[in-house]
Structure 1
């Protein structure tokens, strides 16, 4: 009597501890396949006096230096054109971009000349673009990567530039005096680059720095899970299959002569109504709280769809295995779902088995859909397409599972019954 709940709770809490602590304990240590775009727009420059001119392409050298400085086992560095990089930023496929501008070689050449000839100069810049619509934690990781990589590249470029200028200032073979660089000039040459951090499509107010999508998705999952448990219990009580108890009041109605499949069908019908009502309620609350909703129809339809898919699958699991389905639903939709959702810590900063879970866990699919609707104009390429497809697949699995198992039980004559009490 004591051993069973003790064993179940021990296993359940162990799973909770493993999933939730492994999820957040060391995101940077778990970093893998983190997508960042590298865009080299530099067109090069011709430097030197007439007759001694040479074509230089400092942008390519810097791009190669960045590729070497970035750990390939952690970062998925994608060398892209500016248009493709912007498209991937707009769809959330990359979390940031390192951009070398078109006048990079020109500015670096002017900096070198200006160190020995009086002139107005500007330090060449490298832009680090973050993608805040992919989440606050993602932005933080992009900034840390930039802070780690940029000093190495800056030092390497500075070393090469200093050597080039000093070589130009050596006395000619026939004699003459060398020009000495001042300390201020050397300091500038050794750190010639400037890192500019910029946000790509900043989030509007009322988005919780990119967290509203995660919590809205969580609400939809909870509505489906809690809804299925509530509907399962209350409909069974009304049909006389389980007792109804509120405080000291207790009643057990006579069991209704109804098949398992019909009972499940009734529960599904209630879930359809609940899904639409709750989706509307969530939208109303979000509107009253000042959350920007640019695609209300898409949000309502997908919200109801997600609740319905989770709820129907949850009801089917309960119909298949009874009370044990409560634990199965809790593990499937919540315990495994939250840390593999990618809603707070990106999947690429969690242990790799979370990425495997994210391929089928409902929470991740719902999060992708809601994030797309909230932040990426409901673009199918930004996750909504996958979310709709996977949610539909989950709904189909729930319907087939519930119909097959309940009809099988009915066919075997495994009717539900109980002794009436009042």
Structure 2
């Protein structure tokens, strides 16, 4: 065995390990530092009130403070109406919303008056809506953003309200403000954090969409490798070992293009069966599936797209295609899928991969079907069309490469770089 044959696998594995570490460890190691353009809606419904004969609107002041205080490079704060905010939450366009209600100023004024006037009173409320269907990690990021922003708002509003009350009662009436009242007006706003649409039972906090995506992709990816190996063995292009048995039938006179068509036919026939198996397992395990036909149809398309492309890569690059497929569909696919950590919280070298990576496109469509009622705007449209584009690219690559090989006479004959010694008798 030569030194090159020994060191080449080690060098390849070293490069592969470095790529794995860079993609997977960088993916989740510092989401706070990597956070950028995280879309959040801000809704100010406050109608204002008249206080001491003067118009006042504390909701508008808080909205302005939030817009100024939330770092623009971290958060894409969208000031919208309540109807637009709900539409963006339902379409998966924002990860959450901060809502200031219509009676905010009125309740805040009542709270200030209650510091010196006895009676029941409720603190004004600001609601923080998170969108758990966007992914299991997004709700935590939304909560941290809201907590930090509203903590400063709480302190500022409390100080202003305290000053207003002291001005109203005057120095001689300051003693009438109880300690409990001082605490209440210093911390005047009640923050309510709640999901916009709670996750249904059996959804695994949203992870079910990720794992359904994973099994579809693995069905196409591993299915392509199995089909490639078995068909090549049956046609006599590669030997097959069964334990101690070695089988190598005569090579069939089949062109590269025709061989690829045979393999595509097998994965095409298997795809609807595999998609039906996944759907049946999901139903048996209690996974909420509101659109089973749509999920089955898209699952079939996804398996075909991945399988066609993986087989085209193998037909084009041969043994090297195994590594190319592994990197394309798995190594680069998982970190850029946005299935756990959103793209707005991953390093800059990972986010661009989502524009073409198959796993991200499949995840968008599967998540829309499972968690957003099949809403086209929630990712189904993009996932569907990008899956079709991926299929077309795979078909074009496979037909183009194998046709070129056949035209140049590069048939799949047995060739060796060194003489093969005869086996000992």
TM exceeding 0.5: yes
Q: Which residue, out of 408, 412, 416, partners 1:412?
A: 408
Match of 1:232 in 2: 228
Q: Deviations 1:290-339 (Å, cap 9, x if unpaired)?
A: 11110011100110101100110000010001000000000000000001
Match of 2:419 in 1: none
Match of 1:273 in 2: 269
Would you say 1:133 and 2:133 are equivalent positions?
A: yes
Would you say 1:120 and 2:124 are equivalent positions?
A: no
Match of 1:27 in 2: 31
What stretches of structure 1 of length at least 5 have no aligned partner?
A: 172-176
Offset of residue 254 of structure 1: 0.7
Offset of residue 170 of structure 1: 2.7
Q: Which residue, out of 254, 257, 275, partners 1:258?
A: 254
What stretches of structure 2 of length at least 5 have no aligned partner?
A: 416-421
Q: Separation in 2 of the partners of 1:162 and 1:143?
A: 27
Would you say 1:17 and 2:21 are equivalent positions?
A: yes
Secondary structure of 1:188's counterpart equals: helix
Would you say 1:7 and 2:3 are equivalent positions?
A: no
Q: Which residue, out of 26, 33, 50, partners 1:46?
A: 50
Match of 2:371 in 1: 375
Match of 2:87 in 1: 87
Offset of residue 178 of structure 1: 4.4
Offset of residue 19 of structure 1: 0.3
Greater shift, 143-152 or 157-166, is seen at 143-152
Match of 1:109 in 2: 109
Q: Separation in 2 of the partners of 1:246 and 1:145?
A: 58
Output the TM-score relative to the length of structure 1.
0.95
Secondary structure of 1:9's counterpart equals: helix
Output the TM-score relative to the length of structure 2.
0.95
Q: Separation in 2 of the partners of 1:185 and 1:353?
A: 52
Q: Separation in 2 of the partners of 1:402 and 1:293?
A: 35
Q: Separation in 1 of the partners of 2:174 and 2:235?
A: 98
Root mean square deviation of aligned Cα:
1.3
Greater shift, 330-339 or 194-203, is seen at 194-203
1:149-168 paired onto structure 2 within 5 Å = 149-168=149-168
Match of 2:216 in 1: 220
Q: Separation in 2 of the partners of 1:279 and 1:28?
A: 37
Offset of residue 22 of structure 1: 0.4
Match of 1:96 in 2: 96
Offset of residue 92 of structure 1: 1.1
Offset of residue 239 of structure 1: 0.2
Match of 2:279 in 1: 283
Offset of residue 93 of structure 1: 1.0
